[in-house]
Amino acid sequence: MNIKFSKRSDTIEASEIRELLKLIGNNNIISFGGGLPSEETFPVEEMKVICNEILSDYGGKSMQYSTSEGYDKLRKIIIEIMRERGINTDIDNILIISGSQQGLDLTAKAFIDEGDTILCESPTYLSAINAFKPFYPKFEEIFIDNEGLDPEVLEEKLKKSKNVKFLYTIPDFQNPTGVTLNFERRKSIIELANKYNILIVEDSPYSELNFTGQHLPPLKSLDTEERVIYLSTFSKIVCPGFRIGWICASKEIIKKFVLFRQGSDLHTNIFSQMQITKFFEKYDVKAHIEKNIAIYKNRRDAMLNAIKADFPKEVKYTEPKGGFFLWVTLPTYMDSKELLKCALKNGIAFISGEAFFPNGGHKNTLRLNYTNISEEKIREGIKILSDVIKENMLKNN
């Protein structure tokens, strides 16, 4: 038959990243694409003990339907995590979701009417764009520097934009740039949200993976008017395969989200909620995270040192203090998609930058990931990539 999809279906396109990941498969490519944590950081042996205990302690309850709000024991653990991040909150402010990606879908459903304006960093998280687009918003992008988004530019956008629903931001070790929003700007952004009466969606998947030990307060901790919808996840501190994240927001918003998620997927896998809960109950999660930070910091160092040694001076890059990614800006006459084709021929993958801009453009940018690859391979890969860049510069200039 001739299928007639919804008009909404025209808003979404195949993710270059996922398509690329499929292509890469099990080949010998050195991949700086994707955004996978390293499997060596996952508590595999601990999970053997944990699964056995769950099934012995809870039996069929660990396999039964459960509540849309989430497993109460895990919600209480999240309250503790939030307290350590400087946010005092209550169980009714916490909704467990199937990965923090689901928080973006719920936010879109509950807030975006056609034509509403969404403010976001430029570039921003690719799958946030894909979560919001089917609900027909306009995106206003705020270019970021090494200290995150500039509140002055934000205020200009707020003055001239109509029907602004929310600012979507990743303040810590942003995806894709690795940049962190400074403290003064955090305060200013909250003041602007209050002044212009908008919500803030604070996406915080990477905040615990901090290489400096100096933690900046989340926007949510500075929020006195319940304007911040805070999203986080166990994907980067335990593992992503269980798909367990959470939302912390006002009770009124959580109630609305619960209604939408009953139509979306009823509730989050209860067995995996128990797996995460037991891991926190039985093991020293702080020590676990410290160990992971050490691995990722070494890889970040390896990548930065290789870039400093090898990249031509015309190429600019960010220096992330945590998280998963580093952002590269090539000379404007270069096209990172063309570069990617040459790089793949030489056994190197990365993500070209254009897809991270909701309104397109910026063809001369690309994202590099350093978490799922050994230091040796990072050095080897950056050397090859540098050569490919130099070759392309000559060709194009």
Nearest to 325 by CA among 360, 371, 289, 365: 371
Closest CB 336 distance from a second copy, rounded Å = 21
Among 75, 186, 220, 227, binds a second copy (CB under 8 A): 227
Q: Does residue 24 belong to the site contacting a second copy (CB under 8 A)?
A: no
Instruction: Tell me which residue of 289, 325, 300, 319 sits closest to 213, measured CA to CA.
Output: 289
Query: In this chain, which stretch among 172-180, 237-245, 340-348, 375-383 interacts with a second copy, using CB under 8 A?
Result: 237-245
Contacts 24+ apart (CB under 8 A), 6-10: 8/134, 8/135, 8/136
Q: Rule CB under 8 A: choose which of 29, 82, 119, 133 binds a second copy.
A: 133
In the bound complex, what is the minimum distance in angstroms from residue 202's beta carbon to a second copy? Answer: 15
Residues 293 and 140: their CA atoms lie apart, in Å, by 34
Of the two residues 44 and 309, which places its CB atom closer to a second copy in the complex?
44
Cα Rg of the chain (Å, integer): 21
Q: Which of 117, 130, 174, 392 binds a second copy (CB under 8 A)?
A: 130
Binding mask 196-225 for a second copy (x = CB under 8 A): -x-x-------------------------x
CB of 391 to a second copy, least distance (A): 32
Report how far apart, in Å, the C-alpha atoms of 75 and of each of 39, 50, 93, 243, 262 are.
26, 18, 9, 15, 18
Say how many residues touch a second copy, by CB under 8 A: 87
Smaller CB distance to a second copy: residue 157 or 267?
Answer: 267
**Is 342 an interacting residue with respect to a second copy (CB under 8 A)?**
no
Report which DSSP code applies to 133.
G
Q: Write the CA distances from 170 to 55, 64, 128, 184, integer angstroms.
A: 37, 35, 11, 16
Using the rule CB under 8 A, give the single segment among 58-66, 150-158, 288-296, 302-310 that binds a second copy. 58-66
Binders of a second copy among residues 273 to 302 (CB under 8 A) are 275
Identity at 364, one-letter amino acid code: N
What are the structure tokens assigned to 42, written together?
């996952």
Shortest CB 16 distance to a second copy, Å? 12
How far apart CA 301 and CA 297 sit, in angstroms, is 6
Q: At residue 362, what is the residue type?
A: H
For strands 351-352 and 365-369, give the pairing. antiparallel
Window of 239-247, 297-305, 350-358, 373-381 that interacts with a second copy by CB under 8 A: 239-247
The interface region with a second copy, picked from 146-154, 248-256, 312-320, 389-397 by CB under 8 A, is 248-256
Residues of span 318-337 touching a second copy by CB under 8 A = none
Contact between 27 and a second copy (CB under 8 A)?
Answer: no
Give CA separation, 100 vs 66, 148, 246, 355, in Å. 19, 21, 6, 20
Minimum distance from CB of 41 to a second copy (Å)?
8
Q: Is 64 in the site for a second copy (CB under 8 A)?
A: yes
